[in-house]
């Protein structure tokens, strides 16, 4: 073989080796069975003006700077919401080894603003973890946020007919919002602390 030809062969071999190396390296980080729906492109949230349980303004600006695990519920919920809050408390405990700036902020937005005043949320949400945030406010602002996320909710009368005891059907998914305030992923039920924390870690690694 002539010298130039040999050089071409060497170069091609080197490129092939490099390509194989890259492919092999990618296989070393196997993509897990991620059940979460990870959006192809993070979605900007609509504008909304609500209050947190300390009656401080809660709008899109509050979702900047930290990852947020956001979900929708109400304090008169016996099963789903306390279970979700408890699962999230355990999820956050499993993520305590992460730098604080990478740990998620858990936020529950009430779909029952009539009964869930900031005061009511203050007695409820921090019980599961003192860092958790409860959010409520005017119905039109709650709707602005729920519509932007595709969250549905409806009021159903209590079997007893008592007008104060109505229940609320609501989307039970947990929404992951990135530090730029964009919807990044959706975790549908059932929720398990070990699965949520593992998928959260995986998503953070993808985002660098």
Q: How far is the CB of 145 from another protein (least distance, A)?
A: 16
Give the integer Cα–Cα distance in Å for 52 and 119: 9
Q: Burial, 22: exposed, middle or buried (Cβ in 10 Å; 0-12, 13-18, 19+)?
A: exposed
Binding mask 93-112 for another protein (x = CB under 8 A): xx-xx---------------
Q: How far is the CB of 152 from another protein (least distance, A)?
A: 6
What would the two tokens of residue 92 be? 């956050």
Choosing from 7, 194, 206, 207, the residue that interacts with another protein (CB under 8 A) is: 194
Give the integer Cα–Cα distance in Å for 145 and 59: 10
Q: Burial, 86: exposed, middle or buried (Cβ in 10 Å; 0-12, 13-18, 19+)?
A: middle
Chain centroid to Cα 132, Å, comes to: 13
Q: How far is the CB of 101 from another protein (least distance, A)?
A: 20
Q: How far is the CB of 89 from another protein (least distance, A)?
A: 9
Residue 44 as a binder of another protein (CB under 8 A): the answer is: no
Which positions lie near another protein, rule CB under 8 A? 75-80, 82-83, 86, 90, 93-94, 96-97, 120, 123-125, 127-128, 152-153, 156, 159-160, 165, 167, 169-173, 188-190, 193-194
């Amino acid at each position: 073989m002539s010298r130039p030809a040999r050089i071409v062969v060497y170069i091609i071999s080197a490129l092939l080796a490099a390509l194989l190396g890259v492919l092999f390296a990618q296989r070393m980080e196997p993509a897990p069975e991620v059940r979460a729906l990870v959006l192809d492109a993070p979605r900007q949230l609509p504008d909304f003006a609500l209050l947190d349980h300390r009656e401080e303004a809660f709008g899109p600006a509050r979702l900047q700077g930290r990852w947020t695990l956001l979900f929708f519920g109400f304090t008169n919920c016996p099963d789903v919401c306390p279970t979700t809050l408890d699962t999230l408390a355990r999820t956050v405990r499993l993520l305590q080894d992460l730098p604080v700036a990478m740990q998620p902020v858990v936020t529950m937005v009430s779909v029952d603003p009539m009964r869930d005043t900031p005061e009511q949320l203050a007695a409820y949400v921090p019980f599961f973890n003192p860092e958790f945030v409860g959010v409520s406010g005017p119905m039109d602002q709650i709707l602005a946020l729920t519509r932007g996320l595709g969250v549905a909710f409806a009021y159903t009368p209590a079997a007893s007919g008592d007008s104060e005891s109505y229940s609320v059907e609501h989307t039970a998914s947990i929404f992951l919002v990135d530090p730029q305030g964009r919807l990044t992923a959706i975790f549908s039920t059932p929720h398990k602390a070990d699965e949520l924390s593992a998928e959260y870690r995986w998503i953070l690694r993808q985002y660098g």
